[in-house]
Amino acid sequence: MRLIRVNMQQGKALSEPVPPVYEKLGGRALIAKLLLEEIPPASDALGPNNKLIFCPGLLGGASVAAGGRLSVGGKSPLTGGVKEANAGGTAGDALGKLGIKAVVVENQPEAGRFYLLHIHGEIADLLPADDLRGFGTYAVSEKLQERFGKSSTIISIGQAGEQLLLGACIACTGEADQRSNLAARGGLGAVMGSKGLKAVVIEKPTGGGMQPANKELLRSTAQAFAQKLINDPKLGTQGTQHLYGTASIVGAVNEIGSLPTRNFSTGNFEGAGDLRGEHMRETILARGGKVGTRCMPGCTIACRNLYVDEKGKAIVGTLQYETISLMGSNLGLANLDDVALLNYMCNDFGLDTIETGAALGVLIEAGLASFGDAKGITALLRQVGEGTPLGKLIGSGAVTCGKVFGIRHVPAALGQAMPGYDPRSLKGNGVTYATSPQGADHTAGNAFGARAQVNPLATEGQKELSLKLQIIAAMLDSTGLCLFARPPVIAEPQLMANMINGIYGWNWTVEDLDHFYRDVLRNELEFNRRAGITQADYRIPEYMREEPLAPHQATFDIPDAVLDSVFDTL
Amino acid sequence: MELFGQLATDGIKKQTLEVPEGCTAGEAAEKLNLDTNLVGLVTIDGVQLTMSARLTPGCRLCFFPPMSGG
């Protein structure tokens, strides 16, 4: 395997052998280690000393079902700490097959210049890309696929990343109509913009791809793993993920009173029925759209969709739970057509829909629009693409919007907006939001899936649950496995050990894996500590401890001392 | 009573159920001919409970298929 270092100041991209310290790492694990090794923790996240890392997980390129996620990382300009954001699509698989451990983008070019990185076979070139400035990610990916081939994977930023907005994300193309797979959280799109990097083009690998150390072990284990996914009632062709995507949980999260509604002011939305996965599926099918599509090659779950308008014209691929909640119920919108349009706009501008949905909720509370006013909300969002001062504010996330307008109700932790579960009614998620080194991130440890084991409204058991889930998340993010594919490897950790040993021949045991996952969190916590993040920063907003959330009149009442002790047994 | 996701078969999604006093969620599921192996979440008045939980008059009972968040 090799590392590609891209020096934006010199305009060069060079391959080098993988340094031994990174050899047995991938995805989030690699990013955490590289941050500690190479990035001064106190550096300006949008300055020359931060680095932007693209890497597959350890399973990338090995033809493991749902194992091709792309990790993107660096120091986050939003949280001030470590950030790993991962995306579906075809990039992770392509980099793995090319034998690329990571692409590390360093320094900055002359101010105002943009480039694209072209990876083809053994070669990586930096090419001028000023002609792509000002275009959204959809146009960029279309233009670059016309130029470099329809089978090329395109990673890009839109106008938000060019403007260095804190809510900016990075888009990646995927299978068929899944053109927007987003490394969404934490403002990494702004880091990419600060490097003057508009896009990365990865030509589809030709040739044999990676050569596993033990082909038969990999083949048999990957096959068994894929079969377990197919047989799982949640994940097979009759499972909720395939039938409805993540929108399958809208009804349930609303029922348990955790659905962010009108800037997280209540946990039930009267319009939730029209946002549910069942209604979405019926609508899509009636209009000639698609459900049950995949973003990654070889995925057996296929949870994506292509949401279309009344005439069957594509609005967005894909409409999923987080956007439906943060840009639907959170904004008082009960019409999926409105949410789909907002989703498309965010994808095109290259904006995190969670951060932007939360920001818009704060701004509506500040009086800039009304809850439920789709036209007014859409007009606000449009300003991001137009680059107006208000647009820059909207694209800078919930905390900045709250500060500028003096709004106390800002649903964020460690500077990052909360995803689609109000922590007052799903307290395990509150512990994750508050304590994860990634900030408020449901994929860092989502307690919704463990609701049968720990009562969402109770204070007991949440700390232990969050730690367990955070370790699992570290596993997923470092191996590149989609989090929906986790049940078999949680039930049988030896499956993961066998797949990794089959690829690399490291003879890892299940205990080695557990140590590996915990090291990810240790490294991230250490980087954050060195970056100046203290215990006092790992908190839930004060108002969520004081203001009860209907329907259960619950507050977040897990003591700070408990939050401080989550990692005592790490 | 409301059924969600693929549990809502044959057009039965939402209805008022007449059950004897002290009936449990599991007994209500039986009355609906619901395969409880296909139920991933049970709520009564928005609170997650188990199949052995007893219903109260006028309560809202919901059955969901197995699902996990993103």
User: SS3 string of A19-62?
Assistant: CHHHCCCCHHHHHHHHHHHHCCCCCCCCCCCCCEEEEECCCCCC
d(CA A198, CA A296): 23
pLDDT digits over A470-485, tens only?
Answer: 999 999 999 999 999 9
Q: Are A73 and A485 in contact (CB under 8 A)?
A: no
Helix (H) or strand (E) holding A82: strand A82-87
Q: Which amino acid is it at A465?
A: L
Reported pTM? 0.97
Which chain A residue has the Cα nearest residue B3?
A251
Give a yes or no: residue B44 inside a domain.
Answer: yes
Contacts of residue A150, defined as CB under 8 A and 6 or more positions apart, other chains included, come to none
Per-residue model confidence as pLDDT tens digits over A213-265? 999 999 999 999 999 999 988 888 889 999 999 999 999 999 999 999 999 99
**What pLDDT score was predicted for residue A107?**
98
Side chain identity at residue A267, one-letter code: G
Query: A550 touching B, CB under 8 A?
Result: no
Cα-to-chain-centroid distance, residue A79: 15
Pair of tokens at residue A43: 């550096």
Look at B70 and A277 and tell me if their CB atoms are within 8 Å.
no
Q: Residue B49 domain-assigned? A: yes
Q: Answer whether B67 sits within 8 Å of A240, measured CB to CB.
A: yes
**CB contacts, 8 Å: A234 with chain B:** 40, 65-68
Q: Helix-strand-coil percent breakdown of chain A, rounded to 5?
A: 45, 15, 40
Interface of B with A in 4-43 (CB under 8 A): 4-6, 8, 38, 40-41, 43
Residue A189 is assigned to a structural domain of this protein: no
Give me the residues of A, 195-254, that contact B with CB < 8 A: 233-234, 238-241, 243-244, 246, 248-249, 251-253
- Contact residues, chain A, for B39 at CB < 8 Å: none
Q: Tell whether A555 is covered by a domain.
A: yes
What is the model's pLDDT at position A209?
76
How do A123-128 and A82-87 pair as beta strands? unpaired
User: Closest by alpha carbon to A352, among A415, A397, A314, A291?
Assistant: A397
Please indicate if any CB of chain B lies within 8 Å of the CB of A353.
no
Give the pLDDT band of residue B67 (cuts 50, 70, 90): confident
In this structure, what token pair is assigned to residue A127? Answer: 């090419």
Cα of B34 to nearest chain A Cα, Å: 15
pLDDT score at B9: 74
If DSSP states are collapsed to H, E and C, what string results for A467-517?
HHHHHHHHHHHHHCCCHHHCHHHHHCHHHHHHHHHHHHCCCCCHHHHHHHH
Instruction: Write out pLDDT tens, residues A261-304.
Output: 999 999 999 999 999 999 999 999 999 999 999 999 889 999 99
Domain that holds residue B21: 2-64
Asked if B70 and A246 come within 8 Å (Cβ–Cβ), the reply is: yes
CA distance B12 to A22: 55
Mark which residues 478-507 of A lie under 8 Å from B by CB.
Answer: 483-484
Name which of B8, B62, B66 is nearest A234 (Cβ-Cβ). B66
- Measured torsion, CA atoms of residues B50, B52, B57, B61, in degrees rounded to the nearest 10: 30
Burial annotation A39-70 (CB, 10 A radius, 16+ → b, else e): bebeeebbeeebbbbbbbbbbbbbbbbbbbbb
Mean pLDDT of all residues in A4-31: 97
Contact (CB<8Å) A249/B48:
no
Instruction: State how many domains chain A has.
Output: 1
Whether A551 and B6 lie within 8 Å, measured CB to CB: no
Omega of the bond prior to A378 within 30 degrees of 0, cis?
A: no
Min Cα separation A143/chain B (Å):
31
Q: Which residue of B has its CA nearest to A267?
A: B46
Quick one: tokens of A273?
Answer: 């029925």
CATH number reported for the structural domain that contains residue A322 in this entry = 1.10.569.10
Mean per-residue pLDDT of chain A: 96
Task: Say how far apart CA A403 and CA A152 lie, in whole Å.
Answer: 42
Asked if residue A500 is part of any domain, the answer here is no
Nearest residue of B to residue A320, measured between CA atoms: B70
DSSP A97-157: HTTEEEEEEES--STT--EEEEEETTEEEEEE-GGGTT--HHHHHHHHHHHH-TT-EEEE-
Name the amino acid, one letter, at A105. V
Which pLDDT band holds residue A88 (cuts at 50, 70, 90)?
A: very high
The pLDDT assigned to B11 comes to 64
Q: Is residue B70 pLDDT above 80, yes or no?
A: no
Residue pLDDT, tens place only, A364-383? 999 999 999 999 999 999 99
| Domain-located, residue B69 | no
Domains: count for chain B:
1
CB pairs under 8 A between A and B: 83
B64 at interface of A, judged by CB pairs closer than 8 A: yes
Residue A324 lies in a domain: yes
Identify whether A551 is preceded by a cis peptide bond (ω within 30 of 0): yes
Residues of B in contact with A551 (CB under 8 A): 46
pLDDT 10s digits, A33-82: 999 999 999 999 999 999 999 999 999 999 999 999 999 999 999 999 99
CA distance linking residue A263 with residue A191, whole number of Å: 28
Quick check: B66 and A238 CB within 8 A?
A: no
d(CA A447, CA A433): 11
C-alpha dihedral (A427, A429, A433, A437), degrees to nearest 10: 120
The span from the CA of A44 to the CA of A59, in Å, is: 32
Give dist(CA A237, CA A391) in Å, integer: 42
- The predicted model gives B14-41 an average pLDDT of 90
Query: Is B67 in Cβ contact with A446 (below 8 Å)?
Result: no
Residues of B in contact with A422 (CB under 8 A): none
A519, A97 in Cβ contact below 8 A? no
pLDDT digits (tens, 9 = 90+) for A531-568: 999 999 999 999 999 999 999 999 999 999 999 999 99
B43, B62, B69 member nearest A448 (Cβ): B69
Q: Kindly identify which residue of chain A lies nearest to residue B37, measuring between CA atoms.
A: A233
Look-up: residue for tokens 């888009």? A171
Q: Which residue has the tokens 């100041």?
A: A9
Task: Report yes or no on A51 lying in a domain.
Answer: no
CB contact under 8 A, B70 and A443: yes
Contact A445, A452 (CB under 8 A): no
Question: Is residue A36 situated within a structural domain?
Answer: no
Nearest CA distance, B18 vs chain A (angstrom): 22
B40 chain-A contacts, CB cut-off 8 A: 234
CA nearest to B60 within chain A: A255
Within a domain: A145: no
Q: Rounded to whole angstroms, how far apart are CA atoms A473 and A490? A: 11
- Is the reported ipTM for this assembly greater than 0.90? yes
CATH, residue B13: 3.10.20.30
